[in-house]
Amino acid sequence: MATVTSTRPYHIIIFGASGFTGQFVVEEVARSAFEGPSGSLKWALAGRSRQRLEGVLNQAAETLRKPELRTEVEIIVADVSQADSLAIMCQQGLVVLNCVGPYRFYGEPVVKACIENGAHCVDICGEPQFLERMQLEYHSRAMDSGVYVIGSCGFDSIPADMGCAHDGTWQSAIYGFADSGSLRKLRKKFGHQPLPVVGATVKKRYDVQTVCEIDQYAIPFMGSDPSVVRRSQRFLYEGHQELPVQYSAYVGVGGVWSLIKMFCGGLLFWFLGKFGLGRKLLITFPEFFSFGVFTKAGPSRKQMEGTSFSLTFFGEGYAEGLDPSQGRPNARICTQIHGAEPGYVATPVAMVQAAITVLNEPQFLPIKGGVYSPGAAFARTTLIDRLNRHGLVFSVKRF
List the chain domain ranges: 10-158+342-394, 164-299
Give pLDDT, residue 200: 76
Give pLDDT, residue 316: 84
Cα-to-chain-centroid distance, residue 126: 6
pTM of the model: 0.83
Give pLDDT, residue 254: 75
CB 147 within 8 A of CB 121: yes
Cα separations in angstroms, 236 against 209, 229, 233, 336, 354: 31, 11, 5, 22, 19
> Which residues are paired to 378 by β-bridges?
none
- Burial (CB < 10 A; 0-12, 13-18, 19+), residue 323, is exposed
Give pLDDT, residue 179: 55
d(CA 352, CA 354) in angstroms, rounded, equals 5
Query: Which of 279, 257, 258 has the alpha carbon at shortest distance from 268?
Result: 279
Give pLDDT, residue 163: 52
Instruction: Write out the chain's pLDDT in tens, 399 residues.
Output: 677 888 899 999 999 999 999 999 999 999 999 999 989 999 999 999 999 999 999 999 999 999 999 999 999 999 999 999 999 999 999 999 999 999 999 999 999 999 999 999 999 998 889 999 999 999 999 999 999 999 999 876 565 565 533 344 444 454 444 455 565 666 667 767 778 887 778 777 777 888 777 788 888 877 667 788 888 889 888 888 888 888 888 888 877 777 777 777 777 777 777 777 878 877 787 777 666 666 666 677 777 777 888 888 888 887 777 777 777 787 888 888 888 877 788 999 999 999 999 999 999 999 999 999 999 999 999 999 999 999 999 998 776
d(CA 72, CA 29) in angstroms, rounded, equals 13
Give pLDDT, residue 88: 98
Topology given in CATH for the domain delimited by 10-158+342-394 = Rossmann fold (3.40.50)
Cα-to-chain-centroid distance, residue 215: 28
Give pLDDT, residue 174: 46
DSSP per position, 178-190 = HTHHHHHHHHHHH
d(CA 290, CA 343) in angstroms, rounded, equals 16
